[in-house]
Structure formats: structure tokens, C-alpha cells
Structure 1
Amino acid sequence: MASRTTHPVLGTRALNRATLARQMLLERAPVEAGEAVSRLVGLQAQNVRPPYFQLHARLASFRPAGLAAAMEAREVVRMVTLRSTIHTHTAHDALTLRPLVQAARDREVAQFRKGLGGVDLERLTRRVRDYVEDEPRTMAEIRAELLREWPGADPLGLSVAATRRLALVQVTPRGVWGRSGQVRLTTVERWLGAEAVSAAQERPQGVDDLVLRYLGAFGPASVKDMQVWAGTTRLREAFERLRPELAVFRDPEGVELFDLPGAPRPDEDTPAPPRFLPEFDNLLLSHADRSRVVPPRLKGRSWSGNQAHCTLLVDGFLAGLWRLQDGGGLTVELFDTIGAAQKDRVVAEGERLLAGMTERNGAVRFGSIRG
């Protein structure tokens, strides 16, 4: 193995372009919604609309109906996985990825042990499974059912135990573009059916597989980067097992980075067109060191309290915020002045977003979105 000091150094712009290439943000990809969801190892879906906007920024011919149809066909689902947040995943990932992060979800339940004294977690798991597989239930219904058996337990603790012990999906019409629906839950196995479960058992996914897929979507990256993305720990061993198969680099601070040998690493001067990303886009959440996308001086500028803003990339880096207006149109707030030609490209990209995602040709204006 080569000396640790001989690994090539990748600067911030080189890391930026490599990550944007994996994320289909240098050039929109000619793939369908389901393939993109798989390639990106899921889309953060804390809110209903962001997955659609994430794909609009990345796919050449995306229309919201494409992802909506995949959801209604149960080819993709919404469920708690990475970082204990809701993600949109393919059916295969829903069945095979969740077990890989289950230990972290179990630790969340342990944090409520004081409020769950006397609660038999195995019995709780069986009871919730039977209840939601009978028909999809709301969280309020699940909690009320559990309180009937354990009236002295912490209601929040019961809710956490139910949603962390079991892999529960939000059934449609929740999450379907143009429709609304209360959050109702059932098990991933019941929702996807025996055929999908059997297919997942034939093609299981291990930790090493997940490391390779993460690097394919977010690399080059460190062990800590992936741990932040997955919301779990103790991944060093998997990286070490895979080291002989991986390319190894260092960032400007000397942190060791891993990558797939054949993955794209474009020249740092490769043009990066403006892109409008929704709140909670995984591009901004999937590395311990986010300076490859967020300039250090802008750290924290895409958040207000615990609420993320929609973000604008210019030249591949965070450059502003944006918001759709209720009456039509789109407002952009730039952090810094940009050139006239770059501003024209921002307007053109904003008009594309309005035409594709709102079906109306509103105006793109520059101003403040924060009151």
C-alpha cells in the first residue's frame, strides 16, 4: 500500500465538480425517475414536494407525473431511513437499506427508555405490525392503540418506538404530486408485497455495497462523510476492507478521501450551470465537510432556525436562496453580486423551473426572501 503522504490532493473545486457530476448537476441525465432515485441512493423527503424539485434539477426530461406514477405503482416509497429522516427510496432499497441502519434507529428508542419503563418492546413491535398491516394507520391512531396497553408510558416514546422498531412506509396518496393525503403508515413488507420481498432477499445489500453506492453518488468522500450521510457510525472497517479496490486521495486539510476508481472527476474548471435545489437537498447534507458546496463564509446561511431554505447554486457553489411566490413567479436572493451573463443564466434556469414545475411562465425577480 502506498504511503499515506503520497495520495493525490483534491482541492475544493475538484471535489465540487466530482460531486456535482455524480449528482447529475453538471449536466442533466436522460434517465427515468426510478433510476435516478436508485443512483442517488434515495432523496430526502422530509417535506412532500422536495423530491420532485430534486429530480427537476437533475433530469433532462423530468415531469412530476413520472415520480408520482412510480409512487402509485409502489416502485418508490417514503419512509424513515438515513439520519432518521424520511427519504424516498426505490422498493429494493426500502427493503434492503433500512436493515443496514437499524442499529442506529434502535439507539434512538433507547434514548426514551425512562418513558418506556415496563413496555415490552418485542410485544410493542408485534402489536404495531398487526395493527398497521390490518390497514394503514395514522400516527395518532398507532399511539392511541399503544396507550391502551401501556397508559403510563411516554406517548412520544411510544411513537418513536413504533416508527424506529418497524420499517413503516407512508402510503399513497401521501407524497403524490397534485394530490393530498394524511400520513398513514403500514409496514414496507405489506405495502410492497411478497414478490418484492422475495426479490430483495435474492439481491441483499450489505454494508460494503452501500459504501460503494455512497461513493458513486457523493464521492470522493471520507469515512466521516458517509457516517454523516447515513446517520450511523463504525464504517471504518468497511472502508478498510474495500481499500484495495478504491482510489485514495486527500483533501487540502489532509483528510483521507476514498472513491471509485472509474468514477468521474472532471477538471475543476468544468462549467457548472446554475441549479435551483429544494430545501433539505442531500447535496448539502451528505458530507461532514460541506465546503465542497457551501463556502465557509456562507455556513449557516441556508437555514433559519431548524428550517432549511431552497438554495441556488452558481458555479457549483451555494450562492443564494429562492422561493416560489403564491401569485406566481420566483424570487431569488443572492448572497453576492454576480456578473450579467451569470445572472442571465440564473434567470433562464428559474424560468425553466417555473415552466416545468408550476406550468406557468411567471417572472424571476431578485430581492429578499427573508422577512
Structure 2
Amino acid sequence: MTQTLTDRHLNRATLARQLLLERSDLSITDTIAWLLGMQAQQTHDPYIGLWSRLNGFSHEALTALIVDRTLARATTMRGTLHLHTIDDLIGIRAEMQPFLRSVWLSNFKKRFGGNDEAAVLELARKLLDAEPMTAGQLGKRLAERFPEGEPLAMTMLLQSTDTLIQIPPTRIWGSGHSPVITRIGNWLPAPYERPIARETLVRRYLAAYGPASVADMQSWSRLTRLGEVFEALRPELATFTAPDGRELFDLPDAPRPDADTPAPVRFLPLYENAMLGYDNRRRFLVEGDELRGDFVNNVKPGVLVDGLMSAGWGIDSKKGAAVLTVTPYHQLRKADVAEIEREGLRFLRFMEEKAETFDVRVLELAD
């Protein structure tokens, strides 16, 4: 009989793998590789995620790696933007190609008009090879030649076919400019085929997100037919049972801390790897609070208290005065509030380093 792991056991294992149980001395590049990329739909999310994971992290250090092309931002897992090392970006993006094509067929094909795909792609590539531009600018230029289709449908055809990189000076700390894109060959060096075996992806996913189910990895990536890969690897993997009976897989020697291991307060970005890494997010949620795992309904970036999604945060900064407001979702202990205030002050100084005054406010729980 396999061991049953409680949600709290799973929580502590995930926090340890995600570098959220204690800050790490890993380099930024090694951390992003370890996590298989960082969710990057919002410009500042990777900065926030890394600040909560790494000792001595600075905005400038990450920006330098993006500017010098060590790291790059493109559409990969789930058809969403991620910040990757170059090997991972190219290898994972190739694995995602069938999914990205299916998304375009489902959501944009009917809005494409009677245009010829090859002709649209030829012009789109020519335009982006001539100069980087925003997606809106590209769509407008395409519409001049192909007025029947929606501009967005035409730009999304290119994005679902080619690897498009969002490049500086956009998508770095402090930049509010609309993202500028170019094709990968205009930004990164060859080779543009750097295969990653699915067995390798499964092992790496489990190392950073395990214990996890097949459905968890499929939800994280949108890759299909992963069950057969897990089965092929079963002899080398450890298996466990979740509280609801799901089968979970893991690397045998991966850390699985005791359930009572203390977990510090951590401020998370809106789109957080650790939350998006699973089909079943119970390991991060308080009983009866499933909506906190739904990023459509839960629009605030989260605060982990004792490892659980327990509050949301927002920052207001005017005339040199920065205020971090924390909104609890549940009743918090006085000790938790004090820790939120301490960590929150450090976080606020990171987020608003040019402010003159800093204030952290933890709101009372509404009746």
C-alpha cells in the first residue's frame, strides 16, 4: 500500500521545491531553469517571484540577464508568457507547438476571414524581420494588406507558429511601454532546435513541483499523453496517494519535509508558478476556499501565511508615500499579522525603492 500524503505534507514539499520554505543562494539563471521558467504575463511578476525566493535579489540583476539575452520571454506553457533560459525556451516551445496551433484553430481561425495563412505569415515575418514592433502595430500593418481578417487573429497566427520574443526596453522593471516583439532569429543565436525529451521534462517537473499527478503536469503544461511517459518512468519514481485518492508521483530522493515544518510569510506575484503548477491546488488552500485557486475570480496577488493562500495585497504610491495594504481572507493570529508587517515592509521597500515613506496596513477581517 502506498503512503497517503496530507495536503499539509504536499504543501511543505511544494514550498521546499519552489524555494518558498527558505530563500536560496542559487543564481537567478539556475533558479529559472530549476522552475522550468517563470510565469511572466505581467512585467514585474518574475521580479516579485524571485525576490521571495532568493537571497540578495535585485531588480538590476534580473534586468541585466534579460538585456544581455541570457533569459528571454516568450509564449510556452499553457499558451502563456514565461521567462526562460534559452535552452528551455527553445526546447519547451517546440513541445508546445501542437497545443498552440489548436488554440489558434479554436479561438482565432473563424476570425481570420478568407485570408491565406501562408501569405499572412510571409508578410508578418517580413515585417518583424525589418523591425521590432508591438502586436498592435503588427496587426495594423497586416490589416492594410489583408482587410478581411481581424488584426488580432493574424498576429496570433504568427505567435502560434513562430517563437516571438518580447524584448527590452519593454518587459523590464519600471517599463510601462507596450511589449515590443521580434522573431527568435532576430534576437537569439542559433541553433533553434534544442530538443528536450518528455521523460526529462517529467523528471524536472517532479523535481520542482512534486509530488504531483499526471493531471497536474498536464494542467501546468497543456501537453497531452503524459500518462504513458509517467508509466514508462514508473520503475524509477516513488508513488503516493493524495487525500482524495489521486495517485501522485515523485522523485525518490526529493525533499518532503515534515508537515509541521514552519513556513514563512511570502508575498507572491499575481500569476505564481507554485499555484499554476497543478490541476488540484488544494495543497495551497484553506478548507472551503477553492476560489483562491481560481485566477479569474481571485484578482489580487497572494500572501502565503503558514504556507496557505491567506490574503491578497496591493500597493498605492503617491507623492513619495508608499502604502502596502494586505487584505486577509481568514482570521489571522497576532503573530501572523506581525510577520506580515515585517516581511511586508521589506517587500514594500523592494517594490517602491524610490519612495520616502513606507507603511504596511493589514486590514481587519470583514464580518
Alignment of 1:55-204 (within 5 A): 55-111=50-106, 112-193=108-189, 197-198=190-191, 201=193, 204=195
Q: 3-state SS of the aligned residue for 1:363?
A: strand
| Cα distance in 2, alignment partners of residues 218 and 302 from structure 1 | 16
- How far is 1:118 from its partner? 3.5
Contact 1:64–1:357 (CA<8 Å) still a contact in 2?
A: no
Contact 1:43–1:88 (CA<8 Å) still a contact in 2?
A: yes
- How far is 1:126 from its partner? 3.2
| Cα distance in 2, alignment partners of residues 16 and 181 from structure 1 | 37
Given residue 222 of structure 1, which amino acid in structure 2 is its aligned partner? S
CA displacement 1:142-166 (0-9 Å, x = unmatched) = 2133223332123332122121111
Counterpart selection for 1:319 from 310, 313, 321: 310
| Cα distance in 2, alignment partners of residues 248 and 34 from structure 1 | 30
Alignment of 1:290-329 (within 5 A): 290-301=281-292, 308-326=299-317, 327-329=321-323
Q: 3-state SS of the aligned residue for 1:215?
A: helix
1:366 has 2:362 as partner: yes
- How far is 1:301 from its partner? 4.0
Counterpart selection for 2:333 from 327, 331, 339: 339
Contact 1:21–1:264 (CA<8 Å) still a contact in 2?
A: yes
Contact 2:291–2:298 (CA<8 Å) still a contact in 1?
A: no
CA displacement 1:264-285 (0-9 Å, x = unmatched) = 1111111101111111112112
Deviates more, 1:131-140 or 1:149-158: 149-158
Distance 1:135 1:367, change over 3 A: same
Given residue 330 of structure 1, which amino acid in structure 2 is its aligned partner? L
- How far is 1:218 from its partner? 0.9
Deviates more, 1:155-164 or 1:6-15: 155-164
Given residue 358 of structure 1, which amino acid in structure 2 is its aligned partner? E
1:223 has 2:178 as partner: no
How many pairs are equivalent?
360
| Cα distance in 2, alignment partners of residues 116 and 338 from structure 1 | 51
Counterpart selection for 2:26 from 31, 40, 49: 31
Distance 1:131 1:358, change over 3 A: same
Q: 3-state SS of the aligned residue for 1:20?
A: helix
CA displacement 1:89-119 (0-9 Å, x = unmatched) = 1122111110111100000121233333543
Q: 3-state SS of the aligned residue for 1:355?
A: helix
| Cα distance in 2, alignment partners of residues 348 and 105 from structure 1 | 43
| Cα distance in 1, alignment partners of residues 298 and 102 from structure 2 | 25
Unaligned runs of 5+ in 1: 1-5
Deviates more, 1:355-364 or 1:325-334: 355-364
Distance 1:74 1:369, change over 3 A: farther
1:53 has 2:48 as partner: yes
Counterpart selection for 2:226 from 227, 235, 239: 235
| CA RMSD of superposed structures (Å) | 2.1
- How far is 1:333 from its partner? 1.2
Q: 3-state SS of the aligned residue for 2:42?
A: coil
Q: 3-state SS of the aligned residue for 1:300?
A: helix
Q: 3-state SS of the aligned residue for 2:341?
A: helix
CA displacement 1:45-101 (0-9 Å, x = unmatched) = 111111111111111111111111111111111111111111111122111110111
| Cα distance in 2, alignment partners of residues 240 and 57 from structure 1 | 35
| Cα distance in 1, alignment partners of residues 195 and 293 from structure 2 | 37
Distance 1:347 1:80, change over 3 A: same
Contact 2:113–2:150 (CA<8 Å) still a contact in 1?
A: no
| Cα distance in 1, alignment partners of residues 298 and 119 from structure 2 | 36
Contact 2:11–2:283 (CA<8 Å) still a contact in 1?
A: yes
Contact 2:291–2:297 (CA<8 Å) still a contact in 1?
A: no
Q: 3-state SS of the aligned residue for 2:309?
A: strand
- How far is 1:325 from its partner? 2.0
| Cα distance in 2, alignment partners of residues 307 and 153 from structure 1 | 34
Given residue 42 of structure 1, which amino acid in structure 2 is its aligned partner? G
| Cα distance in 2, alignment partners of residues 329 and 153 from structure 1 | 46
Q: 3-state SS of the aligned residue for 1:362?
A: strand
CA displacement 1:126-151 (0-9 Å, x = unmatched) = 33223212211221232133223332
Alignment of 1:248-267 (within 5 A): 248-267=239-258
Paired-residue identity, %: 38
Distance 1:114 1:343, change over 3 A: closer
Deviates more, 1:45-54 or 1:361-370: 361-370
Moved over 6 A (4+): none
